[in-house]
Structure 1
Amino acid sequence: MNHRSDLETDGEPDFDNVNRSESECLVGWDDDNDPLKPSNWSNARKVKNIAPLVYCSFLTPLGSTMFAPAIEQVTKSFDSTNSLLSSFSVSVWILGYFVGPLFLAPLSEMHGRFPVYMVCNALFVVFNVATAVAPSLPALIVFRFLAGMFGGCPLVVGAGTLGDLIKPLNRGKVIALWSISVILGPIIGPIAGGYMGETVGWRWICWTLSIAAGFGAVVAFIFQEETYPLILLQRKAARLRKETGDSSLRAAAKPERNAAQIFARSIIRPLRLLFLSPIVSLLSLYQGVMYGYLYLLFTTFPTVFRNRYGFSAGSIGLVYIGLGVGSGISVPIVGFVMDHTAKSVIRKGRELNPEHRLIPLLPVCFCMPIGLFWYGWAAEAKTHWVVPILGTVFVGMGINTLIMCAMTYLIDAHPLYEASAAAAGAATRSLIGAVLPLAGTSMYEALGLGWGNSLLGFLALIMCPLPWFFYKYGGRIRTNPQFQLKL
């Protein structure tokens, strides 16, 4: 009897047909074309489930940066002179991304996608409302942390939902569409937040996000449904037990582990990859530092462009466009180079390795230090305001290319545990992205914009050999028995 008892295997689980043993009857899909199978649902039904996911995935990163232009308003509102706390009020949202995946992902495996979405959507609304009425700066920080933690649900569980609904051959373009919403959020956030902070105040930024989140929660409740195959099979088995009176009917691939074991494996596996795999460790560290630079810029742009160029609270949001343009440029270029490289390698009869995913990053890794040097010294010299913003275009290209290439590389290098490898990178990015910006203001005060950003640029330049190193030696490291982990 060919029966797999859990969902740890790569690809789509084998739930086809009803397999019998002496003690039970295992209920699976009737066949690969079973209309109850989520990947066989109609396109309209899939769109109905994916559209709320895309909308909610846009809102969470939007909220992470929409608050940034109003930092000075917040400190004045609470009579605070602590620049560390004011910066942390922005980056603490990202710290929520570090904590959330550790329990949201296993919960979606235990209870299905739908209840996790619904609870997290509701809590996202609650804690955004709490930020709008926060009585103090420490309370605001706590509420933003909780909003980020639960608001990150679509970013954590969304990949699983798309895997449930979309067959592998069509998955790429749908995930690309989903990724666009995630990329646009952090860029549009400061633009909208800048004008809102100037006109209606920072609390209405929080109220607006609460209203948008409430709309998303209602839409998701109406249109989304359960897509997790195991839960659907359990429902099918329950329905058949009721209809036939056969108590031996059980869903195929029912997990044999209890809740504690699921949580333990979900949490420990990413941590083992992070600390015991040199590839995951160094690439995660590289991503984390560059992501931290990005949020350091997010939190310091308002002060720099207000003091240096006299930007108003509304117009400050426009300075983030450079990062958005750079990120937007990188998406089609990296996608084209990756696809072209893969086709070229296969056409030449060679094996496509994860290291080929790093090819776009080999030249573009230098964009980050170039952009930091350009931005820092242009702002230091008080050149026309468009000049430092042009420097941030290179920063946007560098960080987005790094994240796309590193993520694809880690997924390809760990085909059975791509989620764990991705979680290790995401956790590191989020932790450093939340902590590093706290040093931004004091660094600029001590070194100035020119040498302060040059320090960051030199550190980024030191890390540039990493993609080249892994492109040349990554295969040997991956296949070395010394680094083969039993996960």
Structure 2
Amino acid sequence: MEKNDRSGESGPEKVAPKDDDAQDENVIVVGWDSPDDPENPRNWTLKRKWAAALTVSAFTFISPVASSMVAPAAGQIARDFRITNDFTINLTISIFVLAYAFGPLVLGPLCEIFGRVPILRGCNLFFTAWNLGCGFAQNEKQLIAFRFLSGLGGSAPLAAGGAVLGDMFAPEERGKSLALYSLAPLLGPTVGPIAGGWIAERSTWRWVFWSTSIVAGAVQAVGFFTLRESFAPVLLERKAKKIRAKLDEESGGSNVKEVRTIYQKTAKRNYGHFFFVSICRPFVLWAQEPIVQLLGVYLAFIYGIIYLVLTTIPEIYTNVYHETPGFVGLHYISLGLGLWVFSQINSRMLDVVYRKLMARNGGAGEPEYRLPTTFPGTILFPIGLLIAGWGAQEHTHWIVPDIGFFFVGAGMVLTFQGMQIYVIDAFSIYAASALAAVSFLRSIAGFGFPLFAPAMYNALGYGVGNTILAAVAFVIGVPAVLGFYKYGKKIRSMSRHAGGN
């Protein structure tokens, strides 16, 4: 899958018109009418862009809320369904995240074929329906199956959301919008248990699912008005179809002119081959791109830890501090505050640092300019793990583990935001497939980490267990960020798919 594969079916890589095409009066190459064409998503008004950005972020937020909101209610579910196995109890929580691994591998390429909007809207509706069904489950098998299916639908924003923002915003403008978007999958899992704890204590675990379905339905309704297609190849193909239809009407059906877009080498497309290549693209990116492989491994570790923390907080504050589910849920606020505060700082610094480094480089931007704000996260993350682990181990005041979780959240959001926007900048038109490839291993870790957490902490304790995790995070994170900042451009120059913005 070379960038300029001569088949013309490898993907929506922009193709410059050939000289003979430009001179051939029977070939019409469709592009934007001008650099300021208002139909180009990059030229949309800020109001329209931010309406779409906030909607995509809302899609991305509600799904992770549903993924973790059930955590404080796990005890109720275990009692109702008479589950005694810890593995099965944790599986009802983490199976949702397993679907996150597989959904984007298909949904990411699909949004590069059919556009962003049909995939986002359709999958959110699918998620809402199955999440609603979770509230009516009659046994653990039904609950696990329904959770997996709802997770598949809920994974669409992880595959397409970042790509939508890349469609609309120029690289030097992306920081704030992408910071907001990338905060959602981290903040969502921390907000969910806060509400879930009180719902479980005052009502029933079934309302955990019904309440999130109501909110997802409201977001779906808003999305019908605020979300518009932003993928340039799809928009230009629609424009080309109108031109073909007009020519056919004017010629009485005898039109011989070929109409294609600047993203096509021919107006005729082998959709079977195109579909196959697009679906395979995330796997190809994973196999061929060191950027995807290395960032995928590190983000997998980070994402795995956040779900490990989410399932560990109830155990710490129930078993060590003997609190009720409602008050246990409040401790997720510390994690959420770390995420929120540092995401706000980072959302402003991302573009500021990017512009300054771009100015030093003669006005040319590079994806690596996203990484300086990521480095502090690689330090704060292991520090937070150490404070939280040893605070719980030594039975200190409950505020000490909360402080640790605050720094864990800060480190998570800094590393997650910087690396996610780096992938989007580096892979540009293939952003959805690249994000799908990166998110696969990340979601596998989010599924698996909570399953081994009880055994690890039972054997080692919270202090030693978190010390090991902190050491791994430091050893992987610091060299990864520094290495990509220094050698990232060289790595991209050898890439078949990564290029620029």
TM-score normalised to structure 1 length: 0.86
| Alignment match, 2:142 | 139
User: How far apart, CA to CA, are the structure 2 residues paired with 1:41 and 1:336?
Assistant: 22
- 1:281 and 2:293 aligned: yes
- 1:8 and 2:2 aligned: no
User: How far apart, CA to CA, are the structure 2 residues paired with 1:278 and 1:324?
Assistant: 32
User: How far apart, CA to CA, are the structure 1 residues paired with 2:484 and 2:113?
Assistant: 38
User: How far apart, CA to CA, are the structure 2 residues paired with 1:384 and 1:60?
Assistant: 33
Stretch moving more, 93-102 or 292-301:
93-102
Q: Which amino acid aligns with 1:445?
A: N
User: How far apart, CA to CA, are the structure 1 residues paired with 2:201 and 2:349?
Assistant: 42
User: How far apart, CA to CA, are the structure 2 residues paired with 1:405 and 1:165?
Assistant: 19
User: How far apart, CA to CA, are the structure 1 residues paired with 2:174 and 2:95?
Assistant: 32
| Alignment match, 1:405 | 418
| Alignment match, 2:242 | 236
- 1:331 and 2:348 aligned: no
Give the 5 Å matches for 1:69-218. Answer: 69-166=72-169, 170-218=173-221
Q: Which amino acid aligns with 1:136?
A: N
The answer to whether the Cα contact below 8 Å between 2:389 and 2:463 also exists between their aligned partners in 1 is yes
| Alignment match, 1:442 | 455
Structure-2 change in CA distance of 1:380 and 1:152 (3 Å): same
| Alignment match, 1:220 | 223
Structure-2 change in CA distance of 1:154 and 1:236 (3 Å): farther
User: How far apart, CA to CA, are the structure 2 residues paired with 1:166 and 1:485?
Assistant: 24
User: How far apart, CA to CA, are the structure 2 residues paired with 1:165 and 1:52?
Assistant: 14
Percent identity reads 35
Of 320, 334, 343, 1:308 maps to: 320
- Structure 1 residue 460: deviation in Å? 2.1
| Secondary structure of residue in 2 paired with 1:9 | coil
| Alignment match, 1:381 | 394
User: How far apart, CA to CA, are the structure 1 residues paired with 2:229 and 2:421?
Assistant: 27
| Alignment match, 1:264 | 276
Structure-2 change in CA distance of 1:284 and 1:226 (3 Å): closer
User: How far apart, CA to CA, are the structure 2 residues paired with 1:84 and 1:314?
Assistant: 24
Structure 1 unmatched runs, 5+: none
| Secondary structure of residue in 1 paired with 2:323 | coil
User: How far apart, CA to CA, are the structure 2 residues paired with 1:348 and 1:43?
Assistant: 28
User: How far apart, CA to CA, are the structure 1 residues paired with 2:192 and 2:313?
Assistant: 13
User: How far apart, CA to CA, are the structure 1 residues paired with 2:73 and 2:249?
Assistant: 60
The answer to whether the Cα contact below 8 Å between 2:392 and 2:463 also exists between their aligned partners in 1 is yes
User: How far apart, CA to CA, are the structure 1 residues paired with 2:86 and 2:433?
Assistant: 36
TM-score normalised to structure 2 length: 0.84
| Secondary structure of residue in 2 paired with 1:360 | coil
- 1:320 and 2:332 aligned: yes
The answer to whether the Cα contact below 8 Å between 2:190 and 2:332 also exists between their aligned partners in 1 is yes
- Structure 1 residue 188: deviation in Å? 1.5
The answer to whether the Cα contact below 8 Å between 1:195 and 1:317 also exists between their aligned partners in 2 is yes
Q: Which amino acid aligns with 2:372?
A: I
Structure 2 unmatched runs, 5+: 1-6
Task: Map Cα deviations across residues 403-442 of structure 1 (whole Å, 9 max, x no partner).
Answer: 1222233344445644443332222211111112110111
For the aligned residue pairs, the C-alpha RMSD in angstroms reads 3.3
Structure-2 change in CA distance of 1:474 and 1:410 (3 Å): farther
